[in-house]
Structure 1
Amino acid sequence: MDPKPCRMSRTVMTDLVLPPDTNNHGTIFGGNVMRYIDKIASIACMRHARKPVVTASSDSLDFLEPIRVGEAVRLEAFVTWTHKTSMEVFVRVESENLMTGEVKTTARAYLTFVAIGPDGRPTEVPPVYPETDEERHHYETAPARYELRRQRKLVQRTKRDPNE
């Protein structure tokens, strides 16, 4: 498979935060942000693989700033690294005060997706390569994150509940 640049998967999504999207503090529900993150990451991975994908893991998600009712939530995602059938994708979440123009980074996350073939099994994905400094940073640090995920998965497999 021919390698593809990170930019080919870059995806941007913007939405307006309305009262039904928020909690009693007037800030967006964290679960809504998580749903946006999973959705945009899925789109970026499907753009890269040109195949259906499933979420395999989500690294820690830290909410850095609240997103308030009336603000815009903006997400940007791109595939940072690939393995044989999996893709790591980086997602940045920002809020924008539409009255003042102030933009804040509100969350960042890495997720891993697996491409699925017609038989319902994992299938190979093309390699990815970086072109910008930001893309190079994510690409060069991805193998260490991959190893941490692999180790975490091994620990989880050995710590299964005996009642399962």
Structure 2
Amino acid sequence: MNNQQDEKKYKKVDASRILISELMQPSNSNFNGKIHGGYILNLMDQIAFACASKHSKTYCVTASVDTVDFLNPIEIGELLTLKASVNYVGNTSMVVGIRVEAENIRTGAIKHCNSSYFTMVAKDDEGNSVEVPGLILNDKQEIRRFLKSLKRLEMKKLRRREFEEKDFSPNDYLHLLEDHKVKVMLP
């Protein structure tokens, strides 16, 4: 296989890395003067789409979103920066890692607001899933991100298997309720 053919089958992480910045406006705030989490999720979905589409050279759809924890509030007037890269590729899917940071323009202070992982699936014009290029990992951080994605996928499969089994019995898990603020009042 020559080098040009190899480049079509595999792409470097840097080839589809995306960075966007946007000034946070009052129109995107909630009643408490903070930026709506839903607005941030919309921006994250957009950058995940752009990153995955850039990698796959095709239309992509969001299949799932893993762990969106809002770590710090985002204020009106802050410069929001979203960074996205393909962390993992499967046959037709990609995991796009996204980091969200907000910068106070006056002080230059930067805070990490959240990180999340969007699983995107490449589609053709008829809506069929299509194969995506492999990933070339160039440094230890890219290897770490790929391996962590593998671990998250493994945990997701275990969770799904555990709760979708036909012999799942809530009685096996009732002991988990003991330390929670809940009452079970069955008829």
Match of 1:104 among 106, 111, 116: 111
Q: Deviations over 1:7-36 (max 9, x none)?
A: 111000111111111112211000001001
Displacement, 1:129? 2.2
- Show the counterpart of 1:162: none
Match of 1:143 among 150, 165, 170: 150
Question: How many Å separate the matches in 1 of 2:126 and 2:134?
Answer: 22
Give the 5 Å matches for 1:13-28.
13-28=20-35
Runs of 4+ in 1 over 4 A off after TM superposition: 152-159
- The 3 A distance-change label for structure 1 pair 156 and 47 is farther
- The 3 A distance-change label for structure 1 pair 47 and 101 is same
- Show the counterpart of 2:129: 122
- The 3 A distance-change label for structure 1 pair 39 and 157 is farther
Displacement, 1:131? 1.6
**Is 1:75 matched with 2:63?**
no
Relative to its length, the structure with more helix (as a share) is 2
TM-score w.r.t. structure 1 length?
A: 0.90
| Counterpart contact for 1:73–1:94, Cα < 8 Å | yes
Name stretches of at least 5 consecutive residues in structure 2 with no aligned partner. 1-7, 167-187
Give the 5 Å matches for 1:29-48.
29-48=36-55
| Counterpart contact for 1:46–1:52, Cα < 8 Å | yes
TM-score w.r.t. structure 2 length?
A: 0.79
Match of 1:55 among 46, 54, 62: 62
Asked which structure has the greater RCO (Cα within 8 Å, sep 6+), the reply is 1
Q: Deviations over 1:82-140 (max 9, x none)?
A: 00000001000000001111111100000100000133111100111222332221112
Provide the aligned C-alpha RMSD in A: 1.6
State the identity as a percent: 34
Q: For the pair shown, which has the larger CA radius of gyration, 1 or 2? A: 2
Question: How many Å separate the matches in 2 of 1:22 and 1:157?
Answer: 39
| Counterpart contact for 1:80–1:130, Cα < 8 Å | no
